[in-house]
Amino acid sequence: MGSHSSIIAGSYHGEVMRGSPLKVDARARLRIEVKGIVQGVGFRPFVYRLARNCHLNGWVRNTSANVAIEVEGLEENLSQFLSLLKEKAPHAARVQDVTTRKLPVEDDVDFVIRKSQPEAGKYQPVSPDLANLPLDDIDILFIENVGNLICPGGFDLGEYLKVVILSTPEGDDKPHKYPLLFSQANALVVNKTDLLPHVGFDMEAFARVFQGLNQQAALFKVAGITGDGIEDWGKWVMANLQKLRTQNSTR
């Protein structure tokens, strides 16, 4: 039998860990919560790769308060995972606090990234990179969330307008799957309309469902290659910029 290092249940801040050693079997499961600047910096993919490299199963997801992780596997692998979690974190991340507690083993067979979980009244700090932007010289700042139609609806980023951009090859069923985001949007841009003859996207049915969810939002049909609809979309953006300037000038 080789020697086993202890898994700590408790928390550590910076480099200092506190808590009492847990007596665990050969396999154990931990709940880990990571606070700091750990969203929007590639932290979940990092955790995914680290867990796989440490031969651990479980999951990771963002919440409004932190990054939540559950991992299970051999005790020595869990110890290695905890050590590397802060030591090898993405460059833009700032890990401020890590708490752990022991859970019953659930015999997960893989490690996955779960969908984000909003929590009312809790928020994430913004990366300090934003402070380096010349905000006084910027008229329009686009905060882009690629490939995810859940998080933008569940998290308030303090944006002035919320725009959904959808391409026709993705399918016309998205308002059914993600009604929250489509109901919140100030505008919807359907891109790649030049591909309509080649994909099964029913624009008429799509527009009917979307407008049933949201009667106030503008709908733009554009084609990036041909430029169709881009001018109308740009005019809408600039009109809203002027509207915001007028509002700010009267305060």
* Active site members: 44, 62
Closest C-alpha among 101, 40, 35 to residue 71: 101
How many whole angstroms separate alpha carbon 108 and alpha carbon 51? 13
| Number of Cβ atoms within 10 Å of the Cβ of 74 | 17
List beta partners, residue 70: 31, 59
Tracing tokens 């990036």 back to the chain, one arrives at 224
Cβ-contact 157, 186 below 8 angstroms: no
How many whole angstroms separate alpha carbon 247 and alpha carbon 73? 56
| Residue 240 vs residues 158, 160, 223: alpha-carbon distances, Å | 16, 9, 22
| Number of Cβ atoms within 10 Å of the Cβ of 14 | 10
Could you tell me the two tokens for 130? Answer: 């934003």
